[in-house]
Structure 1
């Protein structure tokens, strides 16, 4: 997450108080009720706003952050609508072709959450969610005449794709402090948020709104820095429980939100225990976590090893919203021709980006409405929520 700071009108004493409060609040910005494998994908579990603004008592940014910090909602159920517009290019039939080839060769399961939940990265989707504490969550992705469900119940994680009648079974990590799926838990968020707290952000209260039938305050987070692709983040906070109910990220370039996630329905009652039960449907194909790993072909072990070494040496340039992560892949930049694995895949990849030159040499910038990445011809990567010129400047400075 980006850092949190007061608005410019806050005096020194209030700033110190807010800085302490935001440390406590940061770990609750993602509701504790949606954890497990799907939590990182859903992120902040917000809601769509109803019409009209409630008349609530005045509250300061510090008080609102304190309210979020004290929130301890453990049980909920409801419907969530997610709209994502990263401005990604339309890959046409390429993605379908690749996925089809993987399925035919037995490389994976359509019920594997690793691939299935990436669908949330683009378009509009409807989810049903339920949670009962840190060990029981269920997320169902509703599709046309089909449904994909991901269930976390104790040590078990189940994925089920009704369209293909396939099941994926995995287990929750023993050391949850190190697992990817716990990065959206209170501790995981606290660890990450505290690393980036500085004075590059303005945090204010921006009125009130109705969210899924509940009264909420609006917390407005805006970068003080120029050069970032982030315009503002608006979070609706439930006035009674302090639970974040709505998350909307708008880009600095304007236009529709990059991410708009929200409850259309919400209940804070305890879900029925049967909600988290799973029984393998008759005739379903079952893939386990271990078998899926063994079945995956190792077509590029050397390149993966080089990339892994590069990520181990990842460094961060700049601070706050202008932070740029950089690492060396240990190889060339965007591949071309047959070096890309056959055909003209390299040329296709190159056409998706903008060619740039500078003191660093030359490379390709791949852009979305939020995150941009520069891949130099000698294999160095610069990526961040910053504009293209910021990436080029960082590459030049590192030369």
Structure 2
């Protein structure tokens, strides 16, 4: 379908300004399956309703992942360089075998250890915030969630964890001047930033070959998929996959969640007065933030949906953000409601490619807000909020707060 006034979903400013909410409302109403002809040269179908996005997730045979999750996220024009190597860029049967190899690093036992480490770091950050009377929540507190997870999952120290978070932030924020010099070719810049992440893991891989442990890197070094060891590049890609997924989702969701509470003080008071609502509150924060705004798929054959023909080889984007605001699925979808139930959001994806780290991210977010509420502190905004320049990851990079 087309619109009288086209909407360009590759326009990062649309998301930074916050105009994307209204844009998706228009798409859901007028062009739920929309051909986006981007100013950056990328062309793709955009699915915006809950029903269509969920349909595409469940039909993984029709919508393949080998082109990569991000539109224009590779130096190649046809396939992502991670195709067939990284978990999010693989299809069956290899996807299942890679997931089985990675899963021990995401077990319930590991999640429990992550919770312990995160608790220690967050309690220290809260104590500092209390003493100082405020902080930049985005950099002091929220980043301790992925830091604690990386320390356990990757078997690295606190300093290295924050260094890795910085590297992945630069890579995801490759169009954001707060992280990188945005001059020159964006794709070359992205390739260079990815190489920095690989370089970080290269030293760790060498060390784990000599002294393996029970961390993700050791597991991947020793893993066999379909009877053969993983190549160095496959190890790097899957370490990066876990690092990016964990670093961005939990911390950026935490920021958007706290911001939503501050912007809706009646909900903030309700959570303080009724801490038993923490579970549904976290689910609502995940729906509201939809940090991973979309994922890309590629049609493996011609298929028709809603009278629209999607041809084999065409790029299809599944907009989690829009699906999670679909009025037909979520009554009063524009309202932040910590008691919302049911709340079957798609922030972790669905089906075969549901986020493998979802239980750990869930535990991190629940623990963070449990500690914030039990601390007795209430925050209020004390300065300008800054948003990440991205249409793929929706995050807050600056969130100055003071203790109210």
Q: Which has the higher contact order (CA 8 A, sep 6+)?
A: 2
Greater C-alpha radius of gyration: 1
TM over 0.5: no
Structure 2-normalised TM-score? 0.24
Larger helix proportion, structure 1 or 2? 2
